[in-house]
Structure formats: structure tokens, C-alpha cells
């Protein structure tokens, strides 16, 4: 654990009396892509929401770059270098593509640097540039996913949390989204990826954790999990 970017220590999260997460612990090393896989309802989204402060754990703690962020309100997390691409994209459908991207840079001050980041996003996602003055609600699902990713990148995060980026997309778009995630990794950004498409996720990840009914059931190198009998049976359909 030389260079830990994000560390989750024994978090427990409740929805009323139901315990959604049980003593979940894992860590993400700097520069890696870590995948969190599991079935529907295993607690993947809950885990991400707890990390970015949209939910508060009943116990346990979360460290970002060694700093305890367990009690930090959600709106202060992004300026600490962590961005979150939420499940279902959640772009602001009534605002234009450009305004969505600008909101991604809400906590940044330097106008010139923001303009540079905008150009970088447009280089990675040329389609967004074409549609910059359209309202986000008029984009296709794949384009909205690109916008949600671009919007998160506008905060210049050192770690990016992505929740089901391939959900509901055509196979062509899925491939494109995953090649962009690899590009993001190459640029030095750490990625925590939640995916139901375990095959795809494990093939680009360095490490992976398997979440089952609210607790970590397995962990290891992504390449090893990809060949693990249990994982193959339960999540890869082979």
C-alpha cells in the first residue's frame, strides 16, 4: 500500500433498519483502475454515494489522499479532487451541453484554465463540441454518458468515480466508453469503476472487488478474477 489514493475502512450504511453495506473495506491505489463488480442490489451504488458524501455511513471511515472525508459534505468533496459520474448519467437536461460542462468546473476559479479544460474535453469527445449549444436532454444516451464524464473531468479530478457508465448503451458506445476510461487512466487519473458488465470492467481494471449483498466477497488482481471459476460462473455467464 505504497500510494493509496482512496481508502474505505469498515463502512456500514443503513436504509432505515436494512443494513445496505456491512463492514465494507477496500482501497484504491494511485494511478490504478479499480473495478467494483456485483449483482443488482449488491450495494455498488450505495458504496459510491457514501464515498462522495451523498449518504453518510453509520460507522467506518473514508480517507481521500490520507485525509478523513467521512463527515465532509458532498459539495466540498469535488474541490478535494474527487469527481463522481453518477448512475443514470444525471446530466442537467434543461441546460446546454456547454453549461453542463461549466457546472462541472463550478468550484474552479481561473477562467483561462477552465477554457483549457473545456477544449480538452472537446478533444476527447468531439461529439460534445458539435452539440455544445444544444440542451442536454436532446442528446442520445451515449452522448449523455459522454457529457456526464466530460462534466466530471471539468473539475480536473485526481480520482474519478464512475457508476455503471455502460448501462443502457449500444455495444458500439460501450466500446467507446471503455476506451475513454483507458485514456483517462493513461493521463494519470485514478479510476474507481462500478460495473455490471463485469467482463469489460475486469479486462481494463488493475484490481477488482466483488460485492455480494452488502459486503466484499472476493478481491484480487482483475486478471486473476477474470479467470476465477466462481466469478466466471456468477458474473461472466460462462
Partner 1 sequence: MKFLSQLISGISLGSIYALIALGYTMVYGIAKMLNFAHGDVIMVGAFVVYTACVKGGMNPVLGVLLAIVFCTVLGVCIERLAYKPLRQAASLAVLITAIGVSYLLQNLALLIFKSDTKQFSSVVMIKPVTVAGLTVSGEIIATIIVSVVIMVALTLFVNKTKPGKAMRAVSEDKGAAQLMGINVNGIISLTFAIGSALAAIAGALMCSTYPALSPYTGAMPGIKAFVAAVFGGIGSIPGAMVGGVLLGVIENLSKGYISSQLSDAIVFAVLILVLLIKPTGIMGKKMTEKV
Q: Give the binding site for partner 1 (CB under 8 A).
A: 52-54, 73-79, 83-84, 86, 88, 90-95, 99, 102-104, 106-107, 137, 151-152, 155, 168
Q: In what order do the strands lie in the sheet with 159-163?
A: 82-85, 159-163, 190-195, 33-38, 207-212, 215-221
Residue closer to partner 1 by CB (options 79, 179) is 79
C-alpha 199/C-alpha 227 separation (Å) is 10
Nearest to partner 1 of 154, 205 (CB atom): 154
Closest separation in Å from C-beta 152 to partner 1: 8
Residue ranges with strand state E in 65-139: 67-68, 82-85
CB of 112 to partner 1, least distance (A): 16
Whole-angstrom distance, CA of residue 229 vs CA of residue 126: 41
| Cβ-based nearer residue to partner 1, 67 or 74 | 74
C-alpha cell recorded at residue 65: 489522499
For residues 12 and 26, give the distance between their C-alpha atoms in angstroms, rounded to a whole number.
Answer: 13
Nearest alpha-carbon partner for 38 in 204, 224, 193, 238: 193
Least Å from the CB of residue 206 to partner 1: 25
E runs forming strands in 41-135: 59-64, 67-68, 82-85
Comparison of 41 and 73: residue with beta carbon closer to partner 1:
73
- To partner 1, the closest distance from the beta carbon of 99 in angstroms equals 6
Q: How far is the CB of 54 from partner 1 (least distance, A)?
A: 6
* 89 versus 207: smaller Cβ distance to partner 1: 89
Amino acid at each position: 500500500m505504497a500510494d493509496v489514493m482512496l481508502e474505505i475502512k469498515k463502512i456500514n450504511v443503513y436504509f432505515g433498519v436494512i443494513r445496505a453495506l456491512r463492514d465494507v473495506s477496500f482501497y484504491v491505489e494511485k494511478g490504478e483502475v479499480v473495478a467494483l463488480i456485483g449483482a443488482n442490489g449488491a450495494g455498488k451504488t450505495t458504496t459510491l454515494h457514501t464515498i462522495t458524501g451523498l449518504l453518510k455511513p453509520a460507522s467506518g471511515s473514508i480517507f481521500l489522499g490520507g485525509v478523513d472525508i467521512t463527515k465532509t459534505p458532498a459539495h466540498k468533496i469535488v474541490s478535494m479532487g474527487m469527481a463522481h459520474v453518477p448512475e443514470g448519467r444525471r446530466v442537467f437536461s434543461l441546460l446546454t451541453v456547454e453549461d453542463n460542462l461549466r457546472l462541472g468546473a463550478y468550484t474552479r476559479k481561473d477562467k483561462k484554465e477552465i477554457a483549457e479544460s473545456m477544449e480538452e474535453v472537446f478533444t476527447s469527445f468531439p461529439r460534445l463540441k458539435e452539440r455544445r449549444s444544444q440542451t442536454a436532454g436532446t442528446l442520445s444516451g451515449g452522448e449523455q454518458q459522454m457529457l456526464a464524464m466530460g462534466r466530471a473531468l471539468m473539475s480536473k479530478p485526481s480520482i474519478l468515480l464512475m457508476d455503471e457508465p455502460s448501462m443502457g448503451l449500444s455495444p458500439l458506445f460501450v466500446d467507446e466508453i471503455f476506451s475513454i476510461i483507458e485514456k483517462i487512466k493513461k493521463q494519470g487519473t485514478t479510476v474507481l469503476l462500478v460495473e455490471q458488465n463485469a467482463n469489460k470492467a475486469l479486462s481494463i481494471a488493475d484490481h477488482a472487488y466483488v460485492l455480494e449483498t452488502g459486503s466484499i466477497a472476493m478481491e484480487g488482481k482483475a486478471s486473476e478474477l477474470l479467470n476465477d471459476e466462481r466469478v466466471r460462473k456468477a458474473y461472466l455467464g460462462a
